[in-house]
């Protein structure tokens, strides 16, 4: 994949790119009193994007058009619509009055939903940033972050980055300034995983959490994010595989075919990530070709995003 800029002017409109994320580690510390799970995850953006075009609309209200390789919900069911509406409602200016008379948002969906790549959250964050810029609302990061927290646990991560430790429900962000440059094979099974079901099916293992937490914190203290990624620590994997047995079988098959062991599930699934040593993009493309020939499974070669 080619690195692209976050923003691009298209005619009189503004195009913003919404990058996918991968989880380099994902630990569950336990269940909270509010029913959510306390997580600790190292997340990195990759250069694989949805695209969102903001334009002045021809009719009153927010018009959302969805196109691209993958399905996305229309209208008010899409987090993009909610993000835009929430942003406009939070402001009182002539720009917002004009926008409510008509704003058009076109989503080109390139990242599959239910893949553990955070595309809906990234789309929502990109919408906040782009509409704020397009209408010259001048909301600062603090105010955007408050809106992001209301939209979903992962949304705040996508306002900054590209590498961070996220805790709480995922909304507490500690940006990592380490340079972790990588190439990766991103494998996209034709399976849409329900994050809600995976969490509901999760059975906590306190001893495993303590063990992984200690190892990961030691690596982070030494600025060795590369070692974190090699651990493939994802405490949601067992729950995901119990619900989607075909994914467990696919993982074993791919590891056997490619002669690798560290194939990692991203988020709650269904996407798998293999970080290639020494950022060897050519090696990643060899794996991609072999995977397509032997399994027909879709994959792309990505690298860490720069913003």
How many Å apart are CA 68 and CA 247, to the nearest integer?
25
Lateral strand order in the sheet of 264-265: 264-265, 272-276, 183-188, 298-303
pLDDT of residue 101: 63
pLDDT of residue 142: 93
Overall average pLDDT of the 249-258 stretch: 96
Residues 201, 238: Cα–Cα separation, whole Å: 9
CB 52 within 8 A of CB 7: no
Domains of the chain plus CATH, in order, are 7-175 (3.30.230.10), 183-303 (3.30.70.890)
Q: How far apart are CA 267 and CA 272, in angstroms?
A: 9
Decide if pLDDT at 269 tops 80: yes
Range 199-203, long-range pairs (CB < 8 A, 24+ positions): 199/37, 199/236, 199/239, 199/268, 201/239, 201/242, 201/243, 202/28, 202/37, 202/235, 202/236, 202/239, 203/238, 203/239
Six token digits for residue 238: 């067992």
DSSP element (H, E) containing 239? helix 237-243
What is the per-residue pLDDT across 113-157, written as a single tens digit (0 to 9) for each?
Answer: 999 999 999 999 999 999 999 999 999 999 999 999 999 999 999
Instruction: Note the pLDDT of residue 38.
Output: 97
pLDDT of residue 278: 76
pLDDT category, 52, cuts 50, 70, 90? Answer: very high
Query: Active-site residue numbers?
Result: 21, 154
Percent of the chain with pLDDT strictly greater than 70: 97
Listed as own residue / partner, the contacts of 1-9 with beta carbons closer than 8 Å and 24 or more positions apart are 1/46, 1/47, 1/48, 1/300, 1/301, 1/302, 1/303, 2/47, 3/47, 3/303, 3/305, 3/306, 4/47, 4/49, 6/307, 7/130, 7/133
Q: Which of residues 74 and 50 earns the better pLDDT score?
A: 50
- Residue 97 pLDDT grade (very low, low, confident, very high; cuts 50, 70, 90): low
Q: Return d(Cα 115, Cα 305) in angstroms, integer.
A: 18
Other beta carbons within 10 angstroms of residue 164's beta carbon come to 22
Task: Tell me the residue ranges of DSSP E strands in 121-224.
Answer: 163-168, 172-175, 183-188
What pLDDT shows up at residue 208?
A: 98
pTM of the predicted structure, to 2 decimals: 0.95
pLDDT recorded at residue 277: 78
User: Mean of the pLDDT values across residues 293-304?
Assistant: 95
Give the per-residue pLDDT at 99: 56
Structure-token match 């939209």, residue found? 151
Q: Of 276, 277, 307, 278, nearest to 299 (Cα)? A: 276
* Calpha distance 41→297 (Å, rounded): 27
Closest among 206, 202, 188 to 238, alpha carbons compared: 202
């Amino acid at each position: 994949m080619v690195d692209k800029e976050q923003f691009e002017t298209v005619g009189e409109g503004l195009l913003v790119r919404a990058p996918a994320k991968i989880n380099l580690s994902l630990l569950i510390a336990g269940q909270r009193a509010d029913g959510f799970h306390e997580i600790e995850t190292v997340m990195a953006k990759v250069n694989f994007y949805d695209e969102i075009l903001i334009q002045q609309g021809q009719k009153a209200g927010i018009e959302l058009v969805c196109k691209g390789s993958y399905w996305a919900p229309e209208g008010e069911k899409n987090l993009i619509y909610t993000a835009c509406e929430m942003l406009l409602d939070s402001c009182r200016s002539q720009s917002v009055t004009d926008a409510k008379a008509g704003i058009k948002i076109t989503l080109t969906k390139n990242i599959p939903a239910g893949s553990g790549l955070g595309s809906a959250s990234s789309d929502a964050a990109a919408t906040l940033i782009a509409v704020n810029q397009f209408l010259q609302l001048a909301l600062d990061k603090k105010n955007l972050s408050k809106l992001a927290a209301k939209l979903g646990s992962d949304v705040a991560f996508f306002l900054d980055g590209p590498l961070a430790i996220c805790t709480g429900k995922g909304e507490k962000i500690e940006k990592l300034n380490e340079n972790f440059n990588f190439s990766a094979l991103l494998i996209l099974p034709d399976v849409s995983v329900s994050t809600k079901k995976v969490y509901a099916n999760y059975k906590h293992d306190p001893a495993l959490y303590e063990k992984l937490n200690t190892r990961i914190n030691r690596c982070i203290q030494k600025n060795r994010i590369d070692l974190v990624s090699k651990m493939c620590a994802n405490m949601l994997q067992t729950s995901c595989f119990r619900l989607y047995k075909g994914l467990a079988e696919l993982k074993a098959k791919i590891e056997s075919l490619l002669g690798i062991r560290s194939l990692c599930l991203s988020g709650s699934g269904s996407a798998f990530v293999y970080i290639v040593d020494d950022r060897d993009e050519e090696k990643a493309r060899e794996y991609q070709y072999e995977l397509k020939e032997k399994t027909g499974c879709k994959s792309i070669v990505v690298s860490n995003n720069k913003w």
